Amino acid sequence: MNIKECTADDCERIDYILNHATVKPGFFSHKDYVVNSKESINFDEMYVIMPTQDILFLGTPNGSELTFEVHGAVLPCARGKLAVVAAKRCIRYMFTETKCVRLEARCRKGRKDTLMFDYACGFKFDAQLSNGDILLSINREDFTNG
């Protein structure tokens, strides 16, 4: 499994994954929203990583170049153990190939599947947000020593 850092040349595949009927509800509250990554993703500021053709990992700076909010998008054919292994490789990539020292993941209220996935990848509970969402995080030191 090779980590591919995506560019604007990969927008067709990125859009396919993010607009997939089983992926979109985890990302967008408006079911009619259609992702156009050429317009919505700034490849100079974000990390868009594809460990396989069916898994996408998005990292957005969250206040600094040291902390990123991350989101995973996994097509049904890649869910399960493969997705956890791929996510851990993406986390390792962020901690070894960038200046990132902290990753944060936001789990929307009621998404137990996402919460269990984040825990399986090594994220830990950080805070309950006022809207009911859960913030999880993982630090470089904890991941590389764990």
CATH topology of domain 4-145: Aminopeptidase (3.40.630)
Identify which of 51, 52, 48, 18 has the alpha carbon closest to the alpha carbon of residue 34: 18
Question: What digits encode the pLDDT tens for the residues 107-132?
Answer: 988 889 889 999 999 999 999 999 99
59 Cβ neighbours under 8 A, 6+ residues apart: 46, 47, 48, 49, 68, 69, 70, 94, 100, 103
Q: Where are the domains of the chain?
A: 4-145
pLDDT at 130: 94
pTM: 0.88
Say which residue, 120 or 30, is predicted with more confidence: 120
Most confident among 22-26, 37-41, 102-106 (mean pLDDT)? 102-106
State the average pLDDT over residues 3-24: 92
Structure tokens at 3: 């980590």
Nearest to 118 by CA among 131, 108, 128, 130: 108
Rounded average pLDDT over 9-13:
95
